[in-house]
Amino acid sequence: MRFSRDGHNVTKIEPWYRRLMNVKKKKADNLQLLNWEMAETASFQKQYIIVAGVMFLILLVYMARMWSLQVLQGATYRYQSENNRIRLEDISAPRGIIFDKNGVPLVENRPAYHVLLIREDVQDLDGTVRELARLLGRTPDELFAVLEANRTTPKFLPIRLAADLDRDALARVEAQRIRLPGVVIQLEPKREYRWNGTAAHLIGYLSEITESDLKQESYQGYVQGEDVGKFGVESAFERFLHGKRGGRQMEVDAIGRRIRLLDELLPIPGRNLWLTVDIELQRLAESLLEGKAGAIVAVDPTSGAILAFACSPTFDQEKFVRGLRKEEWQALSKNPNHPLLNRGSGAAYPPGSTYKAFMALAGLQEGVITPETSFNCPGYYEFAGRRYRCWRDRGHGGMAVERALIQSCDVFFYQTGMRLGVDRIAQYVSMFGLGERTGIGLHGEHPGLVPTSWWKRQAIGVPWQKGETLSISIGQGYDLATPLQMAVGYAAVANGGNLWQPYVVMRVEGSTPVETDEIKGKLRRTIPIAKKHFDLVRKGLLGVVEDDRGTAHAVRDKSFLMAGKTGTAQVVGVADGANRKLLERMAKGKTRDHAWFVGYAPANDPRISVAAIIEHGGHGSSAAAPVVQKVIAAYLKSESAAAPSQ
C-alpha cells in the first residue's frame, strides 16, 4: 500500500484472477470485505481506460467529421448556404388504371398543371399575386384567400394557388414565369374517366382528402391536396390504387430556378385493377335504363363475378375530380332523382313476387307442401275476416307449386306462407343472402330486411300479426332486398344452392407483371335444400318465360332458354275498391309500382343471372323482363363469340 500525491490511498492493482482468489479467502471478514471493495474501486482502472479510450475515439471521429465538413468541404457548404436554397418537391404517384374484363381502360390518368407559389422566393408578394390573378383570369382576392388559408405553412414550402389550368392559362403563366420568381408550375397526374358516367356507381369517384381523413391511420403518408377514392371501387381499393408518393430535394438559385438534383425518392405507381364487368354489356344495360330510375345487376352464377352493374340516373365523375362547386353539389345531392344513390346495392325495395322462388323452396324443403299439393285460388284468400287478394281478380283455380310460380299465384303462396310461419320463412330466405350485406365491399351497401317475429318486437315494439305473414309471403310488407341480393340469390337457385360473395375486381396488377393477384370468387355457403326441390322450382321459373301462360312469356327468345320471375313491388297500398288508375294519374306515376325481373340463362346451364328493377315501372313482365332478356341475350352472344368452340 502506498499513498498517492493527494493523500488518497491506492491499492496496487492485481490481475483479476488473483483478486478472484483473494475474494474467496477474505469473504467472511467484514472489515476485510470493505478493504476489498476499496481495492476493487481502484481496480476499475481497466474499465476507466476502456471507457475513456472509447470516448476519445468517438470524439476523434467526430472531430475528423467536422474537419471534413467545415474545413475540407466548408467552402462548398458556405456557397450553398449563401447562394442557394434547397427546395422540396413532391412527386405524386400516378394512380392505378382501371380496366374492364377485356382490358379496355375505363379510368386513366391525364396530366394536370397547377400553379404553386413559394413565398420565400417572391420579392413582391402583392404584385406577384396580382399579376398571377390577371394571367389566370381570377380575382386577386381569390388568390389572397388561398394564401391566407395557408398562412401557417413554412415559407419555403409551396402553396397551390390554382389547380388544373387550362392550356391557355398555362401558356400565359409559363411565358411570364421568368419575371415571377417563386412561381412554380407543377405537373400532376389527374384522374380521367374515359366513359364518364358509365358504371359511375361501381367505379366511384375521387375527391380531395379532408382534414379529418388525414388524421386517420389508414391515410398515413397522404398529404394535403391529394385526391382519395370516396365511392365505389375507387374507394374500396384505395390502398391498391393509390401508390406511394415520392419527393426530391432540388438545389435552386435565388430566383427559384432549378440547378441540381440533390436527392430523390421515386414514387411507386398505384396498382392497376381489372374489373369483372364488360364495358359493352355495361353500356347496353345503362342504355336500357335511360330515362328511367332503376338498376340492373348481372352476376356470374358460377363465381359471383359482377358482369354488369348499372344504376340510373347516373352522375358525372369528372365533376368530382375537378372539384365540385357548392351549388353543383347542392344540385346533385338535392336532385329528386337521387343520381348519387347506388340503386344496385345501396337501395332496397320490396322484392314482390320474385320472393316466390324462395318461398317455394322453403315450403318444399320443410314439407309443408309437396310438388302435388294444390291450393284453390278464387282470386282472394280469406284470413281473420279479411280478404287478401290475388293479383288476378278472377283467380287461378286449383294449382300446384310449379304452375303457381309460372302464373305467380298469390293465393298459393299465402297458404304456403301461413303453413311455414314468419320465422321459418325468414330462415330460408336468409339462406339466399337476403337481409344481410353480400360483402361486395362497396361503400354504403344496404343490408335489406328479412322480418322475423323477434325483429318486429325489437324494432317496432309490437308482436307479429299473423296477417302480416301473408304480405311477406309475396315479398311485400316489411320485406326489402337490393337488386344485387336478388341477382346473387337467384344465381344460387340457378346453380343448385351455391351462394357466392359477389366481387367486381378480378385482378390487381402490380407495377411489374410479376406482382399480379388474381381474385377468385368466394363461396359464402351451400344452401341445404334437396336437389329435387331446386329442380322443380327451376322448372317453374323456366315456365315463367317458356310456358304460354307464364307471366314473362312475351320476352321469350328462341335462341336460348331463359328462366326467371317477375315481380311487382307495391309503392303504395291501395285500399279495396279504390280506383288505382285514377290514383296513379293524380300522383303523376309516383305511386306506380316498381317493376322487378330476376332471371338467369341458359336455364339448363346458367352462366348469367340478372336482376332488374325499374322504379315506378308498373308490371315486372312489361317493364323489367324485356330489359333482363336483352342483357342476357347480349351476354350470351358475346360469350359465344369469344369462345366459338363452345
Partner 1 sequence: MMDRRLIENFDWSIIWVLLGIICIGLLSVYSALYPQIRANPTHNLFIKQIMWLSLGFGVMFFTLFLDYQKLKAVSFWLYLATVVLLAAVLVVGKEVNGSKRWLELAGFQFQPSELMKIVIVIQLASYFSTQEMTSYPPLKKLLTPLAFVAAPVLLILAEPDLGTAICILAISGTVIFFMGIRWKYILAMMIGVIPLLMPIWMTVLKPYQKRRIEILLRPDLDPLGAGYHIRQSKIAIGSGMLWGKGFLNGTQNKLHFLPEKHTDFIFSVWAEEWGFVGCLVLLVLFGLLVFLSLRVARRSKDRYGALLVVGMTALILWQALINIGMVIGLLPVVGITLPFVSYGGSSLITLCFAIGIIESVSMRRYVFQTR
The residue within the footprint of partner 1, chosen from 13, 25, 29, 38 (CB under 8 A), is 38
When the beta carbons of 155 and 386 are compared against partner 1, the nearer one is 155
Neighbours of 221 (CB within 10 A): 8
Binding mask 194-223 for partner 1 (x = CB under 8 A): -----------------------x--xx--
| 169, 347, 633, 635 from 638: Cα distances, Å | 46, 30, 9, 5
When the beta carbons of 220 and 458 are compared against partner 1, the nearer one is 220
Q: How far is the CB of 67 from partner 1 (least distance, A)?
A: 7
The residue within the footprint of partner 1, chosen from 78, 179, 466, 532 (CB under 8 A), is 78
The residue within the footprint of partner 1, chosen from 1, 2, 5, 75 (CB under 8 A), is 75
When the beta carbons of 43 and 438 are compared against partner 1, the nearer one is 43
Packing angle of the helix pair 410-420, 422-431 (nearest 10 deg): 100
Per the CB < 8 A criterion, the answer to whether 420 and 412 are in contact is no
* DSSP reduced 3-state for 23: helix
Which of positions 120-179 make contact with partner 1 (CB under 8 A)?
120, 154-156
The residue within the footprint of partner 1, chosen from 16, 336, 548, 573 (CB under 8 A), is 16
Q: How far is the CB of 512 from partner 1 (least distance, A)?
A: 21
When the beta carbons of 56 and 454 are compared against partner 1, the nearer one is 56
When the beta carbons of 181 and 344 are compared against partner 1, the nearer one is 181
User: 493: closest CA among 612, 362, 375, 400?
Assistant: 362
Does position 67 bind partner 1 by CB under 8 A? yes
The residue within the footprint of partner 1, chosen from 13, 66, 185, 572 (CB under 8 A), is 66
| 153, 192, 328 from 316: Cα distances, Å | 34, 11, 11
Cell numbers representing residue 130 in the block: 396580382
Distance from C-alpha of 442 to C-alpha of 462, rounded to nearest angstrom: 34
Per the CB < 8 A criterion, the answer to whether 310 and 412 are in contact is no
DSSP 592: S
Rg (C-alpha) for the chain, rounded Å, is 37
The residue within the footprint of partner 1, chosen from 11, 26, 32, 90 (CB under 8 A), is 90
The residue within the footprint of partner 1, chosen from 13, 25, 53, 65 (CB under 8 A), is 65
Which of positions 223-252 make contact with partner 1 (CB under 8 A)?
247-249
Counting DSSP H helices and E strands in the chain, the numbers are 24, 25
The residue within the footprint of partner 1, chosen from 25, 29, 53, 73 (CB under 8 A), is 73
Degrees, nearest 5: CA angle 476-556-632: 80
Degrees, nearest 5: CA angle 457-463-464: 105
Q: How many binding residues for partner 1 (CB under 8 A)?
A: 61
When the beta carbons of 28 and 575 are compared against partner 1, the nearer one is 28
DSSP string, 185-227: EEEEEEEEETTTTTTHHHH--EEEPPHHHHHSGGGTT--TT-E
Q: How far is the CB of 52 from partner 1 (least distance, A)?
A: 6
Distance from C-alpha of 34 to C-alpha of 21, rounded to nearest angstrom: 16
When the beta carbons of 217 and 327 are compared against partner 1, the nearer one is 217
The residue within the footprint of partner 1, chosen from 13, 20, 185, 578 (CB under 8 A), is 20
When the beta carbons of 222 and 380 are compared against partner 1, the nearer one is 222
* DSSP reduced 3-state for 501: strand
With 0-12 CB in 10 A as exposed, 13-18 as middle and 19+ as buried, what is 65? exposed
Distance from C-alpha of 370 to C-alpha of 363, rounded to nearest angstrom: 8
User: 106: closest CA among 115, 96, 117?
Assistant: 96
Which of positions 45-64 make contact with partner 1 (CB under 8 A)?
45, 47-48, 50-52, 55-56, 58-59, 61-63
Per the CB < 8 A criterion, the answer to whether 357 and 490 are in contact is yes
Q: How far is the CB of 118 from partner 1 (least distance, A)?
A: 12
Q: How far is the CB of 59 from partner 1 (least distance, A)?
A: 5
Q: Which residue has the cell 388524421?
A: 215
Which of positions 568-597 make contact with partner 1 (CB under 8 A)?
none
The residue within the footprint of partner 1, chosen from 29, 77, 124, 386 (CB under 8 A), is 77
Binding mask 253-292 for partner 1 (x = CB under 8 A): ---------xxxx---------------------------
Residues binding partner 1 (CB under 8 A): 7-9, 16, 19-20, 23, 27, 37-38, 40-45, 47-48, 50-52, 55-56, 58-59, 61-63, 65-67, 69-71, 73-78, 80-82, 85-86, 88, 90, 120, 154-156, 217, 220-221, 247-249, 262-265
